[in-house]
Structure 1
Amino acid sequence: MLVKLLPILSIILFLIRLNKCARILGVFPCASPSHYILDNALMRGLAEAGHDVTLISPFTEKDPPKNGSWREIILDGFVKNHEKHFQDINRLKNPSNPFFIFFTTNLLGNQLTEETMKNPKVQNLLMSNEKFDVVILEYFFTDGLTTLAKYFDAHLILMSPVAANMWNNHVVGNPSLPSLYPDITLGYPFKMSFYQRFRNTFHLINNYINLNFIFYPKQNEIVQKYLPKSIDMRESISNISLMFLNSHVSLSKPQAHVPNMIEIGGFHIMPPNKLPADLQILLDNAKNGVIYFSMGSNLKSKNLPIEMRNEILKAFRKRKEIILWKWEDDFLPNQPSNVFLKKWLPQQDILAHPNVKAFITHGGYLSSSEAVYHGVPIIAIPIFGDQKANANLAEQLGYGRILPPSEISEERLTVLLDEIIRNAKYRENVQARSQIMHDRQVKPIDTAVYWVEYVIRHKGARHLRVTYTDLSWYQYYMLDIFTVTFGLIFIAILIIKKVWSVFCMTNKRVVKQKQF
């Protein structure tokens, strides 16, 4: 009887092993609410799949997942420090000097890494002797934190809040041709002019110099100070199992990806919920439609310069549509009767309403992806980061227009609103993109869960990694080959020149001898 039951018992034990709960550590120190939306959605998906999740983050979850296990290690004070940097919108604009870009990103990354590593709660975790199967790190200028995966004897997965670009391609060896892929901080269109390609190329070169000779050494110095045992950061960063990209072909131009880069863009977007009663009535009864206006979770509309705000209000006052504005204060001077204010608004649910005709946004990646998902054309007012690049892309793909902050006026805003609302091509283009975004074999969050479990099943999935990780950066870009090649050409030219010089001198002597 026992012999007959052995095959059944084996199958049961196999299924138990297959569905074994994994211990997953998420490290997400960035105090940006928009980043947390992504981080929380990913970790929630893993918890709902039955895994044991620990989350290091500045935020706390009010409604933890019902399945799996959910533990939070809160980085106190991070949110307050973050908010201080976003009070002056004019100061946030991307610097034109590329060296200053590297200076600011280095400063941000070093602060995030050090504040995370020295946090008492993180130090307690480091001293706890706990082990994890996977460490998922948001890849946002905190390369030193990759050492936590090796410290906890775990596989390393990176979560990039943006698409493939020069800031993340290098760690997995993804092609990053400066002629094809503009840096997101420069805000160039994909089809660049000669000058833009020239500047983009040198920006890429400067980035690698900065990484290898300035940023990485400092990051390594920081983590060595706080880790209980020494772990070389360069060793940990070359041991990446997988990188998730918050991107999708519906949101950007198609790009090449190495096998261990997985696109999951839009994974944070949920099916629309019923709106609060007051908003539901307002939107349902908007006979002329609704214009939704939000500057996102980091930027606050109340911090807009007064002159800019007044020009926007002049344009809104002339509209027949209802204006629904995310305004973070109790009072808006000169508020028109058709403008309705809320300190917080359920953005995804609002964009899903059929009466929403246009979305005025800062052009952040989450807002852009939500607009595409729900098929709403946009006017983008980009301020910093990747926002200008996203706005350029929306304009190129025909579902949005750019309104630079310096060009905001009553007349300009009116013209653009009339254009994207009255010209059917903008809604047609964005709805075509929406169909592409919806047309997937499985939900993107299910894709993410599958690949995390895949990495665990295949013990780090080394078979997905390209040989780039075995090469030095100068070997990958063949700088040693070019150096030797041009060196040999230079030596050959010198030899030819020397031989020619000797030949000419000899020839002159022969001529002189003949003359005498």
Structure 2
Amino acid sequence: MNVVLITIAWVLVVVAPIRSAKILGVFPLHTKSHYFLGSSLMRGLAEKGHDVTVINTRGEKDPPKNGTYRDIIVTSELTKSDGPGRDLFPIHRLSFITYNLYMNTLGKMITETTLSHHEVQNLVYSDEKFDIVIIEQFVNDGLKVLAHHFQAPLVLFSTCGSNSWINPLVGNPAPPTYIPEQNIIFDPRNFLDRVKNVLIYTFGLLNRNLLFFPAQNEIMKKYFPEAPDLDVLNYNVSLVLLNSHWSTNMAVPRVPNMVDIGGFHIKPPKGLPPNLQKFLDEAPEGVVYFSMGSALQSSNLATEKREVLLRVFAKLKHKVLWKWEDEVLPGRPKNVQIGKWLPQQDILAHPNVKVFITHGGLLSFTESVYHGVPVLAIPVYGDQIWNAAEAATNGFGRYILYKDLDEGELEEALDDVLNNPKYRDNMKRRSKIMRDRRYSPIDEADYWIQYVIRHQGAPHLRIAGLDLPWYQYLSLDVVAFVIGVTSLLIYLLYILISFVVKKIRKTPHSNKTKTS
């Protein structure tokens, strides 16, 4: 009898609070890596038993079996142009000013395409209700209006951890004195690096507030004229889910409603295709795995960069497995095997993989840390650069900027990472840190989403700094007051001293007594 009562009590206390939530996910980017992360998150929530609707550009071919999963697929000229022939390598030539303006244009296209799509409009004008709205935060701030429209708490998902696009929205402190911006190799101990980082940070801040947000607000108002302005909706965030973890990202401040779930997309290794299994098994010296990810494609490498890689790989006693998107790799050495698509997580789990040459994207970076494989990064743009710098700083990898890639540099760096045991040892330690968690990342996400629903948006997690204008948040009014009062006191002191000096000068001297 006691066992029955205890079981009933356990069900009431533990199981009862877990209920199926109706969740709308908005993941409007067509890029494979962004879609994959959004899909992994929403599939994970569906498998927890939730009713999930996902606005995206691709759609699930094999929807999850648990819960309810529905795609709303947004297609447009933007998604059609995002195909295999697209070459993103030239982005590395953009200055931080041009890069920001490029992202402004991309953001306007994403927001306009999503809000104008007939399937999204059908959803907006339906009678559907949602308990929570999850939106990928990536230059698409006008989409936050969907949470307002459905009167649901807003959750943001960041594919690249905390950054200057998302920190201000929840008042997360991120001083540019030691937290790097994108597209910069940054050493906080170097004065000139800090000057550059502050300049990039300041330009980004001005760009967002003077150009980007007004443009997003205009698009949003076009479809939701009665909605509050974006400067209200932007700061009404209940929760931020970050694709980061202190095993892969530098330790930085977190306000209470920011939660790390980095590694949530990683799955247990599966069996490899027979040809790959044989290639990896029969590699007595080990294998170098090379992939530039899904957005950057190796087949678009500049000819001189490709030739550098081929010459260095040909000198290796190791085998090389190269993700190459064409049928033929010109000049391919005998020790190199290519594949248009490769099961990356399963490959990295193989014990014969000694080094991962990567572009440094956070998915690849996270997977390499999880499986304990040292990295040699060749970053091109965005968060790839700071990920690569993080690997070098913490001793579990090296990097060569794409623009600096040459034969001598590559040969030296690859030899170092292959033969110096410190990189593998440090990466194994990082892998242990990533795996040492109380709960799985998807369980963490599920808990906090339900928490926000239970507490009606969890306004108690909102920090007071969000209610202050920017100049008050930065204490500029206090600084101005102190400078003003100090200046006034100095001025009054100057007047007083001047008055006293003038008085002394005007006072007649007494006549000296004459002696006979």
TM-score (structure 1 length as normaliser): 0.92
SS at match of 1:240: coil
Counterpart position of 2:3? none
Of 229-238 and 317-326, more deviation after overlay is shown by 229-238
Contact 1:94–1:384 under 8 Å retained in 2: no
Deviations 1:81-137 (A, max 9, x none): 334894151x211634x4334322222222211221112211121111321110001
Contact 1:377–1:400 under 8 Å retained in 2: yes
Contact 2:40–2:265 under 8 Å retained in 1: yes
Correspondence for 1:328 among 325, 330, 335: 325
* C-alpha distance 438-10 of structure 1, shift in aligned 2 (>3 A): closer
Deviations 1:312-339 (A, max 9, x none): 1111111111111100111111111111
Q: Say whether residues 1:456 and 2:453 are aligned partners.
A: yes
Counterpart position of 2:182? 184
* C-alpha distance 501-358 of structure 1, shift in aligned 2 (>3 A): same
Correspondence for 1:345 among 319, 327, 342: 342
Contact 2:313–2:336 under 8 Å retained in 1: yes
Q: How does 1:25-424 map to 2 (within 5 A)?
A: 25-77=24-76, 78-83=78-83, 86-89=86-89, 91-93=90-92, 95-96=94-95, 98-189=96-187, 191-227=188-224, 229-424=226-421
Deviations 1:270-305 (A, max 9, x none): 111101111111111112211110000100101101
> Which amino acid is 1:25 matched to?
L
> Which amino acid is 2:179 matched to?
Y
State the number of aligned residues. 505
Contact 2:88–2:295 under 8 Å retained in 1: no
Q: Say whether residues 1:438 and 2:435 are aligned partners.
A: yes
SS at match of 2:364: helix
> Structure 2 CA distance, aligned partners of 1:100 and 1:346?
35
Contact 1:248–1:437 under 8 Å retained in 2: yes
SS at match of 2:252: coil
Deviations 1:324-356 (A, max 9, x none): 110011111111111111110010000000111
SS at match of 2:238: strand
* C-alpha distance 499-113 of structure 1, shift in aligned 2 (>3 A): farther
> Which amino acid is 1:41 matched to?
S
> Structure 2 CA distance, aligned partners of 1:371 and 1:240?
32
Counterpart position of 2:19? 20
> Structure 1 CA distance, aligned partners of 2:14 and 2:285?
57
SS at match of 2:135: strand
1:10 to partner: Cα distance: 12
Q: What is the RMSD computed on CA atoms of the aligned residues?
A: 2.5
> Structure 1 CA distance, aligned partners of 2:226 and 2:396?
52
> Structure 1 CA distance, aligned partners of 2:436 and 2:263?
12
1:79 to partner: Cα distance: 2.9
1:409 to partner: Cα distance: 2.6
* C-alpha distance 224-67 of structure 1, shift in aligned 2 (>3 A): same
1:9 to partner: Cα distance: 11
Counterpart position of 2:4? none
SS at match of 2:81: helix
> Structure 2 CA distance, aligned partners of 1:159 and 1:180?
24
SS at match of 1:53: strand
Deviations 1:374-403 (A, max 9, x none): 011111001001111111110111111112
1:199 to partner: Cα distance: 2.5
TM-score (structure 2 length as normaliser): 0.92
Counterpart position of 2:472? 475
Identical-residue share of aligned pairs (%): 46
Q: Any stretches of 5+ residues in structure 1 without a counterpart?
A: 1-7
